[in-house]
Amino acid sequence: MSDSTAPWLVAGLGNPGPEHAGNRHNIGFMVADLLASRMGGSFKRSGRAQAQVVEGRIGPPGPLSRRVVLAKPLSYMNLSGGPVTALRDFYKVPTAQIVAVHDELDIPYATLRLKLGGGDNGHNGLKSLTKAMGPDYLRVRAGIGRPPGRMDVAAFVLKDFSAAERKELEWFVDRAADAVEALVTEGLERAQSTYNG
């Protein structure tokens, strides 16, 4: 159940540190950074959790505007559940108002899929979130495609986007941020009909 008095919690998943900033695995951080700049805020270290957070509003002024806590867990991807759960508890966010933004191997590059719940599909960030709070949170899945040839999946997600991919990356991150805003302000079904590729 959603709660109109509670904020939304949008967690962009990624790994901290400049060496990871351009990695495929960090598209969640890229989307969170863009949303923060749209909200006119900047990330600050949380005293409540191992995360950077910014509080603000998403959506047009008026009844569609929603209070949002944006978070970038600083625990490394495979331990994302701890910081997100700590923020959920502190801000009293119902699970139905938690959005994880993450990379997804099984979706073609630059394609989005929005959904509620489901498995973790081998994604360590989702595995950690689901272990900490169950599977019933919203996901904005940003497709990064499968690694070429026999490249190891772990090596692929920890590499920067290719030169060809970077040509579309700004547009892709922008579209993913739009999808998060639509999800929060218009609900899952309407956002899916607009953004699911």
Q: Outline where 97-195 has alpha helix (H).
A: 124-133, 153-157, 163-186, 188-195
Q: Is 123 annotated in the active site?
A: no
Query: Cα 35 vs. chain centroid, distance in angstroms?
Result: 10
Q: Which residues of 114-130 are buried (b: 16+ CB within 10 A; e: fewer)?
A: beeeeebeebbbbbbbb
Q: Using an 8 Å Cβ cutoff, are 140 and 183 in contact?
A: yes
Catalytic residue among 20, 25, 102, 123: 25
Which residues are tagged catalytic?
Answer: 25
